[in-house]
Amino acid sequence: MSLIEIISGLALGFAFGFILENAGFGSPCKLTAQFRLSDWSVFKVMFTAIVFTSVGLMVSGWFGLVSLEGLFVPPALLGAAAIGGILVGSGFAVGGYCPGTSVVGLMSGRLDASVFLLGLIVGTLVFAGAYDQLEALTTMGEVAAGDTLPDALGVSSLWVNVFMVIAAVAVFIGGTALERRLGGPVSAAQAVAGATNANP
């Protein structure tokens, strides 16, 4: 790995963390509100990123800007993904942090984030030590039809992206309606204030 790659990775990481913190995503107050369906900000941001990337890759492939065949696509292991999603989601709901936001919270001086990050490190070490016994769980449920949605469903990427755009619009409309009914989203200022009060 070259020095430029290391520097660019660090710069992007710092920029990503800065944006997360200023959006309030470094606070458990805002993140756990997603699980109460009162704040859809996290889901909207992540879904937008997925759709934007998917459509962008498709269009870039059409114009020859990106060789889609040369992109690495990890194997579709739905069973393993489900187990991992349940474990990470449970920790997210209980602690109010995911791995990335726990680092952001720690850099912002939040004590609860440091405890969560410590648990993340310990859990990673335990998993690494028990990997031989758990390896079978990490390869469960491989989809034989293909590792991408178009391959697995037997349709073109255009139709998948059209559906995803429609789904994104529906999520924005439905999520906003639920936010209004359940008290509205937590603002970045409220998230920071709530986390500060929780960590005197």
Any bridge partners for residue 77, and if so which?
Answer: 142
CA atoms of 107 and 86, how far apart (whole Å): 27
Neighbour tally for 20: CB within 10 Å = 19
And the tokens for 156? 């073109």
Q: Angle between the 188-198 and 28-35 helix axes, to the nearest 10 degrees?
A: 110
Whether the per-residue pLDDT at 195 is higher than 60: the answer is: no
Q: Angle between the 78-95 and 111-129 helix axes, to the nearest 10 degrees?
A: 150
Q: Is the pTM of this model over 0.85?
A: no
Give me the residue label for tokens 């459509």: 55
Residue 95: pLDDT band by 50, 70, 90 thresholds? Answer: confident
List, for residues 121-144, the tens digit of each pLDDT value.
999 999 999 999 999 999 999 988
In angstroms, the Cα distances linking 46 to 90, 134, 143, 168 are: 18, 29, 24, 10
The mean pLDDT value for 155-183 works out to 91
The mean pLDDT value for 103-123 works out to 88
Whether the per-residue pLDDT at 105 is higher than 70: the answer is: yes
The mean pLDDT value for 91-101 works out to 86
Identify the pLDDT of residue 200: 41
The set of residues, in sequence order, having a beta carbon less than 8 Å from that of 115 and lying 6+ positions away, is none
Which range is most confident: 31-40, 103-112, 154-163?
A: 154-163
List, for residues 2-50, the tens digit of each pLDDT value.
888 899 989 998 898 888 888 888 888 888 888 888 888 888 888 998 9
Residue 107: pLDDT band by 50, 70, 90 thresholds? Answer: confident
